[in-house]
Amino acid sequence: MARIGFIGLGNMGGPMAANLVRAGHAVLGFDTVPAAREAAAAAGVTIVELAAEAARDADAVITMLPSGPIVRAVYEAADGILPAARAGTLFIDCSTIDVDSARAAHAMAAGRGMLALDAPVSGGVGGASAGTLTFMAGGSAEAFERGEPLLAAMGRRIVHCGGAGAGQAAKICNNMILGISMIAVSEAFALADRLGLDRQKLFDVASTASGQCWSLTSYCPVPGPVPASPANHEYRPGFAAALMLKDLGLAMEAAAATGTETALGRHARDIYAAFAESGHGGEDFSAIFRAISAASKP
Ligand code: NAD
């Protein structure tokens, strides 16, 4: 069993660390927020006072943090996790961050003789609790081979996407499809409403025809057709609109950096930005249907 440092014990990191404990690993955790530390301690994580303490003598250090600048700081600060770890330690960053920061984290780790993976996740808080996350990993074959058994304790599907940053690239490309497709499905239901077409009938046709997609069949943005979707539960997240906005922002940063034309991705980002700015960032991202419907003429 491994000795694992875990930095960032929030909505995702807390239950992920708990699953590592359940799998029999010794988990030393750190978070700047007391409530996160207390919840993790109740799940069997040994809480330490500094991130560096979690990294000392660890076999692997996992980070689950809000942003690229925070990951870089936690890695490289004088009291950060890289200077504290012994050579050969595996660093796995599961946060969703910009590709440049992910690559910088790899370079920092390599510069100190460590192995590294970027391994962002899909599956949300429900998947983190149930241990059914999908991991998209970037890094060397050696790092992936070492990291895979640890990721398997927290997820069901682990895909090695390529070298440094490939996991983040896969994550933001996937979520750009998701953001665009949710808006597309929502516009179709808004149009169906105004054409007097029954929502269930549209679902019955499109879910088995060429309009089929995950936003429709698994996460339908109108109440009724898919009972488990947030639309049937007051649009409680699920996956909050603010997080969708974050991921679309990362995709647009990457598109700008690479000169990629992503007109619909940009439009989707703007639509979610307006939605979040009008006070809906905490709702599930499928609640965009309500905004689209409300903006349409009666
Ligand atoms: P969160 O805000 O609940 O958790 C982040 C935690 O990091 C917080 O507890 C915070 O106190 C801690 N933290 C911040 N700075 C720190 C520092 N310097 N040292 C130690 N701890 C620090 O967020 P979350 O929902 O758990 O998301 C974490 C990451 O996972 C994000 O990158 C997010 O985009 C990604 N993600 C989230 C979801 C989701 O549904 N929530 C899904 C997929 C990916």
Res 297 pLDDT > 90: no
Q: What is the mean pLDDT of residues 28-34?
A: 98
ipTM over 0.85: yes
In the chain, where are the structural domains located?
3-163, 169-295
Nearest by Cα to 257 from 103, 94, 39: 103
Distance CA 47, CA 6 (A): 9
- 171, 201, 246, 297: the active-site residue: 171
- Angstrom distances, CA of residue 221 to CA of 76, 234, 246, 275: 42, 11, 20, 15
Contacts of 5 by beta carbon, 8 Å cutoff, 6+ apart: 27, 28, 29, 30, 51, 54, 55, 58, 60, 61, 62, 81, 85
Residue nearest to atom 8 of ligand 1 (CA): 10
* pLDDT confidence band for 60 (50 / 70 / 90): very high
List, for residues 230-261, the tens digit of each pLDDT value.
999 999 988 999 999 999 999 999 999 999 99
Give me the helix-helix angle, 241-258 and 166-195, nearest 10°.
Answer: 120
Q: pLDDT at position 170, please? A: 98
Tell me whether residue 201 is one of the annotated catalytic residues.
no
For the Cβ of 13 lying below 6 angstroms from any atom of ligand 1, the answer is yes
Res 195 pLDDT > 90: yes
In whole numbers, what is the pLDDT of the chain averaged over residues? 97
Among the CATH numbers 1.10.1040.10, 1.25.40.10, 1.10.490.20, 1.20.1730.10, which is that of 169-295? Answer: 1.10.1040.10
Among the CATH numbers 1.10.3090.10, 3.40.50.720, 3.30.310.50, 3.10.50.40, which is that of 3-163? Answer: 3.40.50.720
